[in-house]
């Protein structure tokens, strides 16, 4: 990624809030009051950037370094915004404290106040609750997603706080921008206006609890590369009721006629239901996103796949995309659940550069220290990891310990939280 593109997200996260703070910088007030007001505007600008980064547009995501990177910055700016907004009433109370403790207390516990102040506190409480939920990984995904989306309400209360305080400029343009971003996200991504129509062409079982679905485009097909993922929503067909939500799946192959294939493992409600999908079911597909496996082919590579995380690797192998010695370490719970295993064995037998090492791990994380090649074997390899976040999180330090530089460890987590 070029330096300009790499810098674009940090710059966006600094320039927009700084612009707000400069515009609204108060004159002639005490230091604490000035800092309190500036903290409020910084928080406001950061929240706007955070909102902007949840919009899923293929070209924007590609330019900014991928959807995963955008979501990382979406979370970062959201957390820093919260800290700045928390500092806002505390600094205003500190200013009041200089005059009298009662005045400071009034700012912190605004019982006698009215909606202009209450709406600010409500926004802060909703923001705090929303952020707590954001970090609760154990919550079922659907509940997590709805509660996380509730943060949009916190933003609207925050803006209401400014409107009720009588600050029209630049609040009304910010309010309009926030509403526009939320409406854009709802229409393009949740209602699927950014997605293209496809139809299920065929379905085949590739392991216990995993199927591979071929999707034929009904209009122009989207362009995807091995290693990328698409967001797919299955609708209702003759004997199938789709759950209608968009879920991310790595493409397992891309045919010349635009037919895409995805491997789907039953990991939750929707993917379990998808196991009974049949040809003819309409689908909507958005993407493609991501740049995993997209770099120039390095001298030699180590690929580690955890379970269904093997999908991007099979896509590249099917496309005949390896030109350098590659070791694929494929970890799965049981052989019956290992998707594409027979095909991988056949590919390894006929692909000179490919070495396949398969490991049945059972339910527990395997002993990575024992499994990974020695430091001198890894030497100059680039490492590509794909699978559940717990696995990639355990692999990264184990590889670093073997002297692999962080920039040579590339990974795709099958989770966006
Ligand atoms: C970049 C990426 C690529 C993926 N590629 C594949 C693939 O090739 N094959 C495959 O079987 N699975 C893949 N997954 C995982 C797949 O998206 C989830 O298994 C699926 O969405 C689960 O949905 P559910 O309703 O059945 O289960 P739920 O019980 O709702 O979710 C199970 C877990 O899946 C994740 N998840 C659920 N919905 C979403 C969503 N809309 N966006 C992001 N994560 C979600 C959450 O971590 C959740 O804890 C990929 C995930 C990501 C992020």
**Domain of residue 351, CATH code:** 3.40.50.80
| 142 and 42 within one domain | yes
| 81 and 171 within one domain | yes
Entry pTM: 0.87
Return the pLDDT at 2: 79
| 202 and 279 within one domain | yes
pLDDT at 365 over 90: no
The Cα 43–Cα 18 span in angstroms is 10
First to last CA, the chain: 24
Q: 297 pLDDT band (50/70/90 cuts)? A: low
Contact 337, 307 (CB under 8 A): yes
Å from CA of 264 to ligand 1 middle: 9
Q: Which residue minimizes the CA distance to atom 41 of ligand 1?
A: 247
**Which carries the bigger pLDDT value, residue 139 or residue 181?**
181
What's the pLDDT tens digit per position in 11-58? 999 999 999 899 889 888 899 999 999 999 999 999 999 999 999 999
Q: Which residue minimizes the CA distance to atom 37 of ligand 1?
A: 141
Q: Which residue minimizes the CA distance to atom 16 of ligand 1?
A: 248
Residue 294 lies in a domain: no
Which of 171, 190, 209 lies at the terminal end of a domain, its last residue?
Answer: 190
Residue 9 lies in a domain: yes
pLDDT at 379 over 90: no
**Which carries the bigger pLDDT value, residue 408 or residue 228?**
228
Q: What percent of the chain is predicted at pLDDT more than 90? A: 49
Largest CA distance in the chain: 81
Å from CA of 247 to ligand 1 middle: 6
Å from CA of 149 to ligand 1 middle: 18
| 402 and 380 within one domain | yes
Å from CA of 220 to ligand 1 middle: 26
Which atom of ligand 1 is closest in space to residue 266's alpha carbon?
A: 26
Return the pLDDT at 377: 63
Q: 284 pLDDT band (50/70/90 cuts)? A: very high
**Which carries the bigger pLDDT value, residue 387 or residue 415?**
387
Å from CA of 206 to ligand 1 middle: 18
| 57 and 176 within one domain | yes
Tell me how far the alpha carbon of residue 415 is from its chain's centroid. Answer: 7
| 179 and 282 within one domain | no
What's the pLDDT tens digit per position in 298-342? 678 899 999 999 999 999 999 986 888 899 999 999 999 999 999
The Cα 208–Cα 189 span in angstroms is 31
Q: What percent of the chain is predicted at pLDDT more than 70? A: 96
- DSSP track, 4-64: HHHHHHHHHHHHHHHHHHHHT--SS--HHHHHHHHHHHHHHHHHHHHHHTT---HHHHHHT
What's the pLDDT tens digit per position in 210-256? 999 999 999 999 999 999 999 999 999 888 998 888 999 999 999 98
| 248 and 157 within one domain | no
**Sign of the torsion formed by the C-alpha atoms of 238, 240, 241 and 244:** negative
Residue 295 lies in a domain: no
In what helix (H) or strand (E) does residue 278 lie, and over which residues does it extend?
Answer: none
| 164 and 77 within one domain | yes
| 179 and 42 within one domain | yes
Å from CA of 356 to ligand 1 middle: 26
**Which of 261, 266, 270 lies closest to 288, judged by CA?**
261
Exposed/middle/buried for residue 180 (C-beta within 10 Å: 0-12, 13-18, 19+)? exposed
Return the pLDDT at 272: 94
CATH of the domain at 129: 1.20.120
Return the pLDDT at 347: 93
Residues enclosing ligand 1, CB less than 6 A?
140-142, 229, 247-250, 262-265, 267-271, 308, 311, 412, 414-417
| 65 and 44 within one domain | yes
Q: Which residues of 275-294 are buried (b: 16+ CB within 10 A; e: fewer)?
A: eebeeebbbbbbbbbbbbbe
Å from CA of 183 to ligand 1 middle: 24
CATH of the domain at 216: 2.40.30.10
Counting ligand 1 atoms within 8 A of each CB, the residue from 147, 267, 274, 390 with the most, and so the one to mutate, is 267
Å from CA of 88 to ligand 1 middle: 38
Pair type for strands 260-265 and 210-217: antiparallel
Q: Which residue has the tokens 């074997």?
A: 377
∠ Cα 248 322 217 (to 5°): 40
Contact 36, 88 (CB under 8 A): yes
Encoded tokens for 400: 């670093």
Return the pLDDT at 380: 66
| 265 and 145 within one domain | no
The Cα 224–Cα 219 span in angstroms is 15
Mean of pLDDT over the chain = 88
**Sign of the torsion formed by the C-alpha atoms of 192, 194, 196 and 200:** negative
Task: State the residue range of the domain holding 52.
Answer: 3-190
Number of structural domains (the chain) is 3
| 261 and 207 within one domain | yes
Q: In sequence order, which residues have a C-beta less than 8 Å from that of residue 293 and are 6 or more positions away?
A: 225, 226, 227, 312, 313, 316, 321, 384, 410
pLDDT at 108 over 80: no
Which atom of ligand 1 is closest in space to residue 273's alpha carbon?
A: 26
Counting ligand 1 atoms within 8 A of each CB, the residue from 289, 337, 415 with the most, and so the one to mutate, is 415
Which of 243, 268, 289 lies at the terminal end of a domain, its last residue?
Answer: 289
Which of 152, 171, 190 lies at the terminal end of a domain, its last residue?
Answer: 190
**Which carries the bigger pLDDT value, residue 35 or residue 159?**
35
pLDDT at 112 over 70: no
């Amino acid at each position: 990624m070029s330096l300009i593109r790499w810098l674009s997200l940090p710059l966006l996260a600094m320039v927009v809030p700084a612009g707000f703070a400069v515009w609204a910088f108060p004159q002639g007030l005490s230091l604490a009051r000035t800092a309190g007001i500036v903290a409020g505007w910084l928080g406001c600008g950061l929240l706007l950037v955070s909102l902007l980064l949840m919009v899923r547009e293929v070209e924007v995501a590609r330019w900014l370094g991928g959807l995963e990177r955008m979501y990382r910055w979406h979370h970062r700016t959201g957390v820093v915004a919260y800290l700045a907004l928390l500092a806002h009433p505390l600094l205003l109370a500190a200013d009041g404290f200089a005059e009298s403790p009662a005045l400071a207390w009034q700012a912190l516990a605004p019982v006698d106040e009215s909606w202009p102040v209450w709406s600010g506190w409500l926004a802060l409480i909703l923001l705090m609750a929303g952020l707590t939920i954001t970090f609760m990984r154990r919550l079922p995904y659907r509940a997590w997603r709805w509660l996380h989306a509730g943060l949009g309400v916190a933003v609207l209360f925050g803006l209401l706080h400014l409107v009720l305080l009588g600050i029209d400029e630049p609040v009304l343009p910010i309010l309009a921008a926030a509403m526009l971003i939320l409406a854009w996200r709802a229409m393009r991504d949740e209602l699927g206006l950014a997605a293209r129509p496809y139809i299920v062409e065929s379905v085949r079982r590739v392991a216990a609890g995993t199927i591979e679905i071929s999707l034929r485009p009904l209009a122009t097909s989207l362009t995807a590369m091995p290693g990328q993922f698409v967001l797919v929503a299955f609708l209702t067909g003759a004997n199938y009721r789709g759950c209608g939500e968009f879920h991310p799946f790595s493409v397992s192959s891309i045919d010349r006629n635009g037919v895409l294939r995805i491997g789907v493992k039953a990991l939750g409600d929707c993917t379990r239901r998808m196991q009974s999908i049949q040809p003819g079911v309409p689908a909507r597909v958005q993407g493609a996103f991501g740049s995993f496996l997209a770099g120039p082919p390095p001298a030699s590579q180590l690929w580690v796949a955890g379970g269904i995380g093997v999908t991007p690797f099979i896509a590249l192998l099917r496309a005949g995309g390896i030109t350098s010695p590659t070791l694929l370490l494929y970890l799965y719970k049981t052989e019956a659940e290992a998707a594409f295993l027979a095909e991988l064995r056949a590919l390894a037998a006929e692909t000179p550069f490919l070495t396949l090492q398969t490991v049945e791990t059972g339910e527990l994380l395997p002993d990575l220290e024992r499994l990974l090649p020695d430091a001198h074997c890894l030497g100059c390899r680039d490492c590509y990891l794909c699978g559940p976040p717990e696995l990639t999180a355990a692999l990264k330090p184990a590889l670093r310990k073997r002297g692999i530089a962080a920039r040579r460890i590339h990974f795709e987590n099958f989770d966006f939280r």
